[in-house]
Structure 1
Amino acid sequence: MASDEGLTGSSRVTVFAMFGVVFGYTTHHLDGRRIGDVAVVGPLTPGVEWGRLWQMARICGRPTASENELAQWVLTQATRAFVCGSGRIGQFRERGWKLEPGGKRVRFDAVYANRDHLWTGNLTVEGLTPDQVAERPTLYRA
């Protein structure tokens, strides 16, 4: 589902590189329980649009993967950076962030990696330096 609404928040943010592009991963909650039921992922590298993330998922996933499976692939990559440090550039306990309007939202069929939803779009995170968001050298392109 496409989204015409933007979103702002302040929460834990993981910044990681994947195939040379720098992404941010954070969470958002839809109600007062504050359980972070929404995963928010988007590119931070200047000039890279959110659709690139879905292109990566399509290239790396099964040729017949559903949108839900592609969303799971995206969340798996973000979770791997958060938990294992794979490609991690930084992890911040509390940072302001903004998800621009026009991204894509997917509701999982069942809870996946402790999240009910994945919202993607162009993301900005307060306080990051140009070096932290610059494209990285990589052996593989997707």
Structure 2
Amino acid sequence: MHHANGAEGRTRTCVFAMFGTVFGYATHHLDERRLGEVGIVGPLTPGVDWSRLWQMAAAMNKESATETDKGRWIMLQAHRAFVCGDLLARWEATGWKLEPGGRRIDFGGPWCNRYELWTGKLTVEGTTPDMVAPKPTTYTV
């Protein structure tokens, strides 16, 4: 596990709810080819720390899960929401910013079409207070 340096961009981005918390998911490019090799995921619900995402991943994995296993679970949930359309919002190109100090996982190869996952404090242009407010949930973690 490494700390994410932070990043910002204007890429395909979506917003989804999981266990009552609203998260943002964007892609980031490591070079001018713009392949979207990095998944960016972070909570958008006010007052929710980005470490909540990793607590969810730990709770939903086996006890012996590695940090990479937990990162893969996070990436899979964001990818599932994006692909299955279980979204609160989706933009083909909107601005987002990931603050420095989060967590970075290198998957060691492609996972859900991404090579790395960066998590942390995320902001996404175009979100509204109603959109990012806590959502009702059947399951709690």
TM-score range with shorter-chain normalisation?
Answer: over 0.9
Is 2:116 the counterpart of 1:108? Answer: no
d(CA) in 1 for partners of 2:20, 2:57: 14
- Written as runs of structure 1 = structure 2, the 5 A alignment for 1:6-85 is 6-85=6-85
Whichever residue aligns with residue 134 of structure 1, its letter is A
- CA-atom RMSD in angstroms: 1.0
> How many angstroms apart in 2 are the aligned matches of 1:41 and 1:73?
12
Q: 1:93 to 1:105 in 2, by over 3 A?
A: same
Maintained 8 Å contact 2:4/2:103: no
Q: Percent identity of the aligned residues?
A: 55
Structure 1 gaps, min length 5:
none
TM-score by length of 1: 0.96
Cα deviation digits, residues 102-123 of structure 1 (max 9, x gap): 1000000221111110000010
Aligned counterparts of 2:21 and 2:121: Cα–Cα separation in 1? 13
Given that residues 6 and 102 in structure 1 are in contact (C-alpha distance below 8 angstroms), is that contact kept between their aligned partners in structure 2?
yes
Question: TM-score, normalised on structure 2?
Answer: 0.96
Equivalenced residues, count: 141
Cα distance in 1, alignment partners of residues 46 and 16 from structure 2: 14
Question: What residue identity is the alignment partner of 2:113?
Answer: N
Following TM superposition, where does structure 1 have runs of at least 4 consecutive aligned residues deviating by more than 4 angstroms?
Answer: none
Take 2:2 and 2:76, find their aligned partners in 1: how far apart are those partners? Answer: 21
Rate the CA distance shift 1:125–1:30 in 2: closer, same or farther, 3 A. Answer: same
Following superposition, the deviation at residue 4 of structure 1 comes to: 5.9
